[in-house]
Every structure is written in structure tokens, then in C-alpha cells.
Structure 1
Amino acid sequence: MRRPWIFVIAIVILAALGAGIGYHFGLPGRPDTVHGVVGSEKAAFFADPRVQDTFARHGLRVEVDARGSGEMSTTVPLGRYDFAFPGSGHAAERVRQVRPAVGSYAPFASPLAVATFTPIVDLLAAQGVVRRAAEGHRVLDLTRFLDLARRDVRWDQLPGNVVYPARRDILLTTTHPSDSGSAASYAWLAARQLGDHESVDDQVVRLFADQGGLERSTEDPFQKYLTQSLDFAPLVLAYEAQYVEATRSGLLPRNGTLLYLSPTVRTVHTLVAFTDPGDKVGRLLNTDAGLVRLAAEHGFRTADESVSAAVLAGLSAGGAALPGRISDVVDPPPPATIESLLTTLDVRLRP
């Protein structure tokens, strides 16, 4: 009569042993923890429970710290991480020079843009600084904008300005170019538009020095744009993906809208893997259909343009849908060119 109970006890013991073996040897059900450092604009993507669940189905638990892309090759202790995921190919190359990589992946991109407000757009359009692109979206003409900055034109000097008559120079609010990939790209675009002459470095330095204190991460000024609106700044350099994320989350401030730079640069967010688990994260971001779709939902332009175009078409700025393609995009500079510029800026801007 006791024999059935013997079988029950045996089954319980075997189940407990199986759980213990799985716990100690990392069998399915206990994901491997992978640590990464990512550009702050990607923090919301990695925090998305759907993204976490997708990685878990592949046996990974991905934990990330958010930092400025430029910081990753200077002040971030890369030895703590399985991968780094800065916001540009140039920043990724600087990371690879600090710590050898086992793999590199470019799963998505995001163009530089300007987070602003409809009344500011209308004001600048009246000055000929903002115009419509052929695709329908509005762009900030970088040549004309930089001319205002070069001449130290203030907001209160613009004719008919009743929306923001502040005694402040007309500048983009940015991060520090040595710490942040977005500001580094803007610095290069500005230098490119200003031309090749002796005063270019001085003029580019002033675009940053005249702002006052500079944040290190692109997410910091963008969050202030969302929460403080015009009380913070009228023009904030950002990634298109940040605007998409804020719009889809219902966080965009009243009259908030987006301008694209003309010309702009397509910043390719590049993952640098230091370990095999980090390499697996990069491969999944490139190949897993669910992760590709979720990256598009968070505003990033994926290698499959149809996936991100479907998301962008459902959002608008300035009375037009966000463009599936942007025509006025320039190629990134050679590494030596931007390194030389960043070295000059760092010397001139650091206290």
C-alpha cells in the first residue's frame, strides 16, 4: 500500500534535483545576464518589457547603463560591459580603439533633428531660415541659421517676434561635442557649412561656448525640452527617434514639433561587442523580426525601411508626415577629420 507514495516522493526528489541542476548550469529558464552601456536615446528601447521578453526567449537578460556616446571611449570603464552601443559609427570606432571587439553591428539609424515648437518654426520661416523640403516636412536651413549665429542675432531682434522675445542669441541647445555623438555630428556639419577658412574653428567653438553649461548626454536637454518647454530653450538638438518616442508616449509638450537639419547626417547606431554574449545581443538586434519591429516603434530607422516607414507615416510634424526618406543627407566625415575637430573643441571648451 505504501508503494504509490514511494513513487510520488521519488518524482518530487527528481524534480528538485532537476531544478537545482538547471539553476547551477544555466539551462533554459535561467537567462544569462548581459551588461551593456548604451547611448541615452536607446534607454527606453532596452527598458521596454517587450524587448526584455524577446531577449529572454533567446536566453538573455540584458541590463544597460545610459551614457553619452563620446564618454564611452573616455570615462566609461568598458571592462565592466559585454557591449557598448554608441550613437554613431565614429563613436563606435573610438570605443574599438579602447577595447578590442569580437563583433560589430549596425542594426538601426536615426537622423539628427531639432525639437522645437510650432510658433518658433513659423517665426523662423518668416525669416527664410525654415522651409519645406520636397518630401513635405520642414527643415532648418543650416547655412542661413549659422549666419544668424555668426552675426550674434538675438531672438528679440527678429522682426515681429512676440512668441519668444528673449535677449538670448539664436543658437541650438546641444550637448558637449566631446561627450555626445549628436553634438559631435552637429559640430562637423557646422564646420562643413561654414567653409574652409581660418575662422571656422572659432565660429564652431562659439556655437557651443555661447550656450553656457553643456550636458553630456543627448537625453538630458531633450527631457528638459519635454518638461520645461520654451522655458528651457526654443531649439534643442535631438535624434528623430527621441521625438517619435515622445510622440507615441504622449509626452510631447504643447505645440511641440520637429525640424530636420538641411543638410543632416544619418547617425548609424553601432553596437560594439566585447564578449560572446554581447555579440549575441548585436546579432539578435539585426536578425530578430520582433526586435526590428520594436526598434522601429521606438523611432529608429531599421535596415528594412518598410518597417520604420510604416511607423513614421503615422506621425506628423509641421503639418506633414515624418518622411520615410530624407534626401538632404551627407556622408559622415573621415575619422581623422572629426577627431581633429573634436580635439580642438575639447581644448577650447573644457574649463
Structure 2
Amino acid sequence: MKRHWIIIATVVVLASVGAGVGWHLGVDRLDTVRGVVGSEKALFFADQRVKDAFASHGLRVETDSRGSREMATTVPLDRYDFAFPGSEQAARRVEQARASTGTFTPFWSPLSVATFTPIADLLATQGVVHRAPEGYWVLDLGKYLDLAKRDVRWDQLKGNVAYPARRDVLVTTTHPGDSNSAGVYAWLALQQLGGGAAALDEVVELFTDQGGLERSTEEPFEKYLAQGLNYTPLVLVYEAQYVDAAQAGNLPGNATLLYLAPTTPSGHTVVAFDEAGDEVGRLLTTDPALLRLAAEHGFRTPDEASVAAVLARVPAGGAALPAKLTDIVPAPAPEVVDSLLTTLDQRLRP
């Protein structure tokens, strides 16, 4: 009888070990795909639900974060199966650095300015900020640039008790040579100022007057979250970063978001270098679970209803974030942006 139980116990142990080995082998059967992504998408790819969605298709996706424009200059692209910068223009530069097997644009996110309700109220008294009919905040780019051109300081704004600092009224950005968000911002400012040499000088000052510039949008936004007004009152971000932080409960007190007017769409674009990268781009574009999760992380996908439901839950100065934006200008041609940013890089990194 004792021998009978020993045999049963042995069978159970072997079955357990076999099951463990089988599970281990199942995990190992996932194909690892490596990508370099814009820092604003780091939290999306770190989400376990996103990892599980890729795993259901047999993929383990591992990513490193870099500035979108940095990808085409200092990143060793031969280490990766795909790159995922923040715009079609940055994607074109990546393709010039390494031949692609295809591109995909699964979602987009507008440029915005993360700030605080008392700052929005203050700038509203200056006519720089106003509420759209739907209630969300809008930053009038032309009027803001007029303040910047005149070197107006925060402590010179009448009635300012929110942030009476002896600092110029400037949006904190990244370096336009490294980061797509700053590059698009520079192009929008140049168009608003009328183009030409004098306008270019003013755009340069928007960056030089800030002092040191970070290399990716994640860095200033993380400081905004951690330090609030002790860091800076206005930070250029992607809408998705703000939404993602709101969903995680990480926004500082009185946080709100301003939408640039005008703005331009920034389509986050996968540049695939091989079949594995192609599969990632295809899944991001077509898989319902991944599209739903992208919306939850604040990116705008073709599923407008899902996007609107997410935006409606985000606190932003007493109004829901807009499901649709109206003051949008067409995205610039890649060669136009490249020419501008080459010039800015020469001026900002002599």
C-alpha cells in the first residue's frame, strides 16, 4: 500500500514539473521584438495589459525611450526591429537613416501646454488664454508670442499673485534638434510670426531664453508632475502624457491643460525595419485591444467614441477635454521641418 502511494506521489511531482516546463517553454516561444520609441509612449509599452496583448500574438515587445528626432542622429538603429517617433516628419528622417520595410500611423496626439488653473486664469486676464465654447482652455499662440517677443516677465503681469516670479513668460520645451514636440512647436511659431529671417530670430529666442533644454518630452513633464509651480508654470507636452498621468492619479493640484491655437496633428508613426517590426505596426493599427489601451493612455485612435469617453474623465480646469479640435493647420512637409530644424540646431548648438 505504501509503495502504491509513493508511485502516485511521484506521478504528481513529475506532472507538476512537466507542467512547469511546458509553461516555461510556452513563455520562451514568444518572439522578442525590440523597438526605440518616443518617451511619451514609454508608459504605454510598459503597461502589462499591452504586454499581454502582444503576447497573445506570440510577441514580447521590449522598448527603449529616446527623443523622436534623436532617433535618426545618435541612436544605433541596427539594434532594433522598429522605431516609433512622434510624427510622420520624424519618421521620414528615421527612414533616411535606415531603410524601412513599411510604416504605420496607429494614433496621434495634439501638442498642448500643461499648466495650472490659477495660471490659466491669469493669462486669460491678459487675453492670451480663453475658454472654447465647449469649456476647455485654449492658448492663443499669436498673443503668447507677442508677450515672449516683448520679454514680458511674470511679475509684470497686473494682478499676478499666482506666480509673481522674475522670469520671462515662456513655455518650457525640449530641444528642437532632439525632440519632435519642440520641432513642431518651432514650426508653428515660425508660421505665426510670418516666416523670414526676423521671425526665425524670434523663434531662436523662444529656446535660448529658456536656458538648458531637455532632450525628450518625458523629462520636463516628469518635473512638472513632481515639482509643480516650483519647476515652471507652462510645459509643452503631448495631450496623451497629461491624460495618462490623470488616469494614474499623478497630476499635481490645480493641474489643467491648454490647447495651442493653431495646432497641427502629430501622427505617431511606426517605422518597421523587418518582418517583426511590421507585425508590431500592424497590430498597433488593427488589434482592438491595443487600440483600446492606446485610447486609455490618452492617444487619439480612429475609435472616436472610446477616445471621447477617456477624455471626458480627465480633470482639466472644470471642463472635459475636447473630443474634436477645430483650429488645426495641415502638418508641414518633412523637408520643410528638416530645413528649419537644421538651422535651429546650428543656432542653438554653435
Band of TM-score, shorter chain: over 0.9
Does the residue aligned with 2:44 lie in a helix, a strand or coil?
helix
> C-alpha distance in 2, partners of 1:60/1:73?
25
Matches within 5 A, 1:164-203: 164-203=163-202
Residue 104 of structure 1 corresponds to 103
Partner of 1:247: 246
Q: Is 1:115–1:258's contact at 8 Å kept on the other side of the alignment?
A: yes
| Contact 1:29–1:59 under 8 Å retained in 2 | no
**Does residue 50 of structure 2 align to residue 55 of structure 1?**
no
Partner of 2:197: helix, strand, or coil?
A: coil
Aligned to 1:261: 260
Question: Is the 8 Å Cα contact of residues 32 and 62 (structure 2) preserved in structure 1?
Answer: yes
> How far apart, CA to CA, are the structure 2 residues paired with 1:334 and 1:135?
31
Is the counterpart of residue 94 in structure 1 residue 93 in structure 2?
yes
For residues 26-85 of structure 1, give each alpha carbon's deviation from its aligned partner in whole angstroms, at most 9, with x where no partner exists: x78620111000000100000000010111111000000000001000000000000000
Structure 2: which amino acid aligns with 1:292? L
Q: CA deviation at 1:134?
A: 3.1
Corresponding residue for residue 343 of structure 1? 342
Task: Kindly provide the amino acid, as one letter, of the partner of residue 55 in structure 1.
Answer: F
Matched, 1:293 2:304: no
**1:138 Cα offset (Å):** 0.9
* Whole-angstrom CA distance in 1 between matches of 2:161 and 2:256: 19
Q: Hey, what's the Cα distance between the residues in 2 that align with 1:133 and 1:109?
A: 22
| Aligned match of 1:82 | 81
Q: CA deviation at 1:133?
A: 1.7
Question: 1:96 touches 1:272 (CA, 8 Å); kept in 2?
Answer: yes
Shift of 1:338: 1.1
Question: Does the 8 Å contact 1:130/1:140 carry over to 2?
Answer: yes
% identity of equivalent residues: 65
Distance 1:45 1:337 in 2: 30
Q: Please say which of residues 56-65 and 29-38 is displaced more in the overlay.
A: 29-38
Shift of 1:264: 1.1
**C-alpha distance in 1, partners of 2:172/2:138?**
17
User: 2:145: which partner in 1?
Assistant: 146
Q: Distance in 2 between matches of 1:59 and 1:284?
A: 11
1:334, distance to aligned residue in structure 2 (A): 1.4
Q: Specify the alignment match of 2:231 in structure 1.
A: 232
SS of the equivalent of 1:104 reads strand
Measured in 2, the distance between the counterparts of 1:97 and 1:29 equals 34
User: What is the alpha-carbon distance in structure 1 between the residues aligned to residue 59 and residue 188 of structure 2?
Assistant: 39
TM-score of the pair, normalised by structure 2: 0.93
Alpha-carbon distance between aligned partners in 1 of 2:45 and 2:291, rounded to the nearest angstrom: 13
Kindly provide the amino acid, as one letter, of the partner of residue 55 in structure 2: A
RMSD: 2.4
Query: 1:233, 1:53 → 2: CA distance?
Result: 37
- DSSP 3-state at the match of 1:105: strand
Residue matched to 1:131: 130
Inter-partner Cα distance in structure 2 for 1:198 and 1:59:
53
1:147-169: per-residue Cα shift (whole Å, max 9, x none)? 00001111111111111111111
Q: Matches of 2:90 and 2:197 in 1, distance apart?
A: 27
Whether contact under 8 Å (2:67, 2:179) holds in the other structure is yes
Match of residue 4 from structure 2? none
Letter paired with 2:278: D
Residue of structure 1 equivalent to 2:72: 73
Provide the TM-score with structure 1 as the length reference: 0.93
Structure 1: tracts of 5 or more residues without a match: none
Structure 1 position 306, deviation (Å) = 1.6
Unpaired segments of 5 or more residues in structure 2? 1-6
Residue 160 of structure 2 is aligned to residue 161 of structure 1: yes
List per-residue Cα deviations over 1:241-282 (Å, max 9, x = no partner): 011011111110011110100111111000001111111111
State the Cα deviation string for residues 178-219 of structure 1 (Å, max 9, x = none).
Answer: 100000000000001000333011000000011000000000
Distance 1:335 1:346 in 2: 16
Aligned residues: 345
**Deviation digits for residues 74-99 of structure 1, max 9, x if unmatched?**
00000000000000110000001111
Which AA in structure 2 matches 1:270?
T
1:303 to partner: Cα distance: 1.6
Matches within 5 A, 1:281-320: 281-320=280-319
| Letter of the 1:235 counterpart | L
Residues 254 and 317 in structure 2, CA contact (< 8 A), matched pair in contact too: no
Looking at structure 1, the residues matched to 234 and 263 of structure 2 have their Cα atoms a distance apart, in angstroms, of 16
Distance across 1 between alignment mates of 2:101 and 2:305: 30
Quick one: which amino acid aligns to residue 131 of structure 1? H
Aligned residue runs from structure 1 range 207-226, under 5 A: 207-226=206-225
1:331 partner letter: P
1: CA distance between counterparts of 2:173 and 2:302? 28
